[in-house]
Structure 1
Amino acid sequence: MTADISYTTEDIAKLLKISKLTVYDLIKKGDLPAYRVGKQMRVDASDLEAYKARAKSGMVSTSRTDSLEMAPSIPSPGAAPTPKRALVITGQDISLDILAKHIERKVPQSRPLRSYAGSLDSLIAMYRGETDIVSTHLLDGDTGEYNIPYVRKILIGSSYVVINLLSRSAGLYVQQGNPKKLQGWSDLQQKGLRLINREKGAGARVLLDEQLRLHGISYRDMIGYEQEESNHMGVAGKVAIGEGDFGVGIEKAAYMVGGVDFIPLIQERVDLVMLKKPENQEWLKGVVDVLRSEAFHNELRPIQGYDLSQTGRILFET
């Protein structure tokens, strides 16, 4: 029955013959009701049919497959609709929600949309043309460098810029009092440790896997390596209530959750990646202006664990 059928954003894009960015825009505007199941957005078949009926009757604003939306027209002699471009910002940190708000003010011809995905998945989405601004914090264990080695491998053939968003302290969540006496990555070789892990593609998952590799520790000696949470607070929360001995994440989540201790082990760099295309130049400059603005910095400064000393600095550019 139709009531039992639902579609992913990919399904909707194929059915309506539009881009995924346009689908996200329809959801953002409220034209297409959607809900989240795990990491996926889904749309019920009945809501899709209702949208199509409204579109046929001219009751919804026009969307174009190149991700430009036309604002609902207001009859006015000589007035033309103002085009707005959907900008998909991918990543999970709260700083990206704040960034989206500032972009909406600073770059009036854009409509920021948020997509919540891990660092590696976000870069792959950019390679596929599914996102405009990617947040990433991926450690390359062999070089000790963050992000750029991954960007260079994944965005082959693309022209892009890597600019710093912030730095933050990452390490281990442990139960209060640290009963397992975990002080560094090498301590993870203890047999029988219970882990609360992040999902594949998340920066924290890559950080853990790289440290295990560098220290010659097998994940098979841990309990719960396959037990995944989709965000830092989920990991910290599970450790706090005793479901795990440790997890990997950022300092801010430990303060927000409470009831868990945090062992800082590394200062990780969170960067933004944006493709350099002729059609991107105007909004890209606006994003850089936001990153360097005092207003944006003032909103981030009170957040526990953020280092803004390099925010807005271009780190790599092709």
Structure 2
Amino acid sequence: MDIDIDTALTPQEVADILKISKSTVYDLIKKNAINSYRVGKKVRVDLKDVEAYKNKTKNIKTPTADFSNSSILISPALSDAMSQNDEPMDEYSFVISGQDPILDILCRYLEFYPTGKRVLRSYEGSYNGIYELYCGKVQVATAHMWDGKTGEYNVPYVERMLPGVSAVIIRLVGRMQGFYVANGNPKGIKDWNDFSRSDIVIVNREKGSGARILLDEHLRQMNISGKNINGYNHECISHLAIASTIARGGADLGVGNEKASSQVDGIDFIPIQKEKYDLIIKKDDINHPTVKAILDILKSKEFKMEILGIGGYDTSEMGHIIAET
């Protein structure tokens, strides 16, 4: 019997049709990639909207990259791991976690790379992304978490959050983190100490995001409690949302990267700290064809030039393996 295209589906039924996890379905709904609606407290998706999503994602043009001369810089130990024949991951289970727009570009390249594939995205922040990697829910996590004790990015967190798991940390890009303020910086904001001023209202990122960790680490070093900061519990889930809130007059100060601030009118950016944005992959997965394709793409001139053309990213170390835990 034919199924009515207006048939209402649960998120689990959508996941079964697309052969993805239910959490990925919720991510797609959250991004408005799939139309949805609520019946009481329940989320529903019409079958016709699932078909529309499938057809929409087929209409992607192939990039004209040439990967024939690209290379990968790896350690001897990692080279040995890549030569082993581990069990391949399920065809539909390859997920990259992270929120930066350049990951969308990476996924586009992956789809048309000779040994690549169409991969799924999870839009988690840094901390939750690594936890999902530990739990096996994603195959690649991204992070930009600053450790105030060592001054390092990502490596200390990976060592603590992946107990018993050997991982490879690969440099993606460098980005400038700083403060978002209204045009002209009317409150005269200069440094981290301004977060404790009684005349300043901030807007914060969600727990687990790299920007939130950066703020909390600096506050810890200054012995400043978040509960004493105006607006500390006002959270947004993206850099753009932070910038938009400040531009509308909803707050005076927020933390985010330079690139996002340039996309919102009415915002000035105060550079504070250069950060490292990295990929984290389990060493057991390093010989998977899609992982090899990622490494090769990161080393390609075409991909680097596209990212440089966007502006706001340092690609000088892109593709370099900076640590193995």
C-alpha distance after superposition, 1:94-137 (max 9, x if no partner): 11001111111225452211111111110111111100111100
Residues 18-38 of structure 1, C-alpha deviation per residue, up to 9 Å, x if partnerless?
A: 98548748998xxxx95579x
Q: Indicate the residue corresponding to 1:206 in structure 2.
A: 213
Residue matched to 2:66 = none
Contact 1:34 1:44 in 2 (8 A): no
Q: Deviation string for 1:123-182 (max 9, x for gaps)?
A: 111111100111100011111100011111111111221000000100110111112211
TM-score, structure 1 normalization: 0.77
Q: Gaps spanning 5+ residues in structure 2: where?
A: 1-5, 52-87
Q: Which residue of 2 aligns with 1:153?
A: 160
Instruction: Tell me the SS of whatever aligns to 1:309.
Output: coil
The answer on whether the counterparts of 1:138 and 1:203 sit within 8 Å (CA) in structure 2 is yes
* Equivalent AA in structure 1 for residue 238 of structure 2: N
Deviations 1:250-278 (A, max 9, x none): 01111110211111100010000111226
* Residue 262 of structure 1, aligned match among 257, 266, 269: 269
Contact 1:22/1:86 (8 A) holds in 2: no
- Tell me the C-alpha RMSD between the 2 structures: 3.2
CA–CA distance in structure 2, aligned partners of residues 21 and 86 of structure 1: 8
Tell me how far apart the structure 2 counterparts of residues 289 and 26 of structure 1 sit (CA, whole Å).
31
Aligned-residue identity in percent: 38
- Give the 3-state SS of the residue equivalent to 2:178 in structure 1: strand
Contact between 2:11 and 2:25, CA under 8 Å: does it hold in 1? no
Report the Cα distance in structure 2 between the residues aligned to 1:118 and 1:35, rounded to whole angstroms.
Answer: 23
2:118 alignment partner, SS class: strand
Deviation sequence 1:23-61 (CA, Å, 0-9, x none): 748998xxxx95579xxxx8527759x99xxxxxxxxxx
Distance, in Å, in 2 between the alignment partners of 1:170 and 1:26 is 29
Superposed displacement of residue 189, structure 1: 2.3
Partner of residue 44, structure 1? 44
- After TM superposition, the structure 1 = structure 2 runs for residues 1-318 of structure 1, keeping only pairs within 5 Å, are 21=21, 24=24, 34-35=34-35, 44=44, 47=47, 68=90, 84-277=91-284, 280-318=287-325
- Paired with 1:36 and 1:153, the residues of 2 have a C-alpha distance of 38
Equivalent pairs, count: 274
* TM-score of the two chains, using structure 2 as the length reference: 0.75
Provide the rounded CA distance (Å) in 1 between the counterparts of 2:150 and 2:105.
31
Partner of 2:79: none
Choose between structure 1 and 2: higher strand proportion: 1
Distance, in Å, in 1 between the alignment partners of 2:22 and 2:250 is 41
3-state secondary structure, aligned to 2:256: strand
